[in-house]
Amino acid sequence: DAKTTQPTSMDCAEGRAANLPCNHSTISGNEYVYWYRQIHSQGPQYIIHGLKNNETNEMASLIITEDRKSSTLILPHATLRDTAVYYCIVSRWRDDKIIFGKGTRLHILP
């Protein structure tokens, strides 16, 4: 079973920052937080991952709380193409299979 809790859905205005929360209160010390998304009719797509420190790449930023029990994925300037289901996943680095939960359905509003 997934070890994370996410809101079922969220709306965000186009051009604004989308902040997607995730709770993972039972995360272990050797587990990473990963984010994937699935745009309609496509396969899942990796976004970002982190262990303790905040991370940023060309797609998004990941903010992990100091106690690591929750995190937030930030899409800095959301576009309509960011409409998707976003999955927060907790996994050890050496785990090979991805355990997807229900995710958050993000709607970007024009």
> Residues interacting with another protein, by CB under 8 A?
2, 32, 34, 38, 41-46, 49, 89, 91, 93-102
Rounded CA-CA distance 98/59 in Å is: 20
Q: From the CB of 109, what's the least distance to another protein, in Å?
A: 25
Nearest to 38 by CA among 47, 50, 30, 29: 47
Give the nearer residue to another protein in terms of CB position, either 66 or 96: 96
Of residues 13 and 98, the one with the C-beta less far from another protein: 98
Q: Which C-beta is closer to another protein: that of 12 or that of 104?
A: 104
Q: Tell me how far, at minimum, the Cβ of 49 lies from another protein, in Å.
A: 5
User: Phi/psi zone of residue 68: left (φ > 0), alpha (ψ -120 to 50 degrees), beta?
Assistant: left
CB of 67 to another protein, least distance (A): 22
How many Å apart are CA 4 and CA 88, to the nearest integer? Answer: 7
Pairing verdict, β 9-13 and 18-23: unpaired
Residue 4 vs 12, nearer CB to another protein: 4
Shortest Å, Cβ 13 to another protein: 28
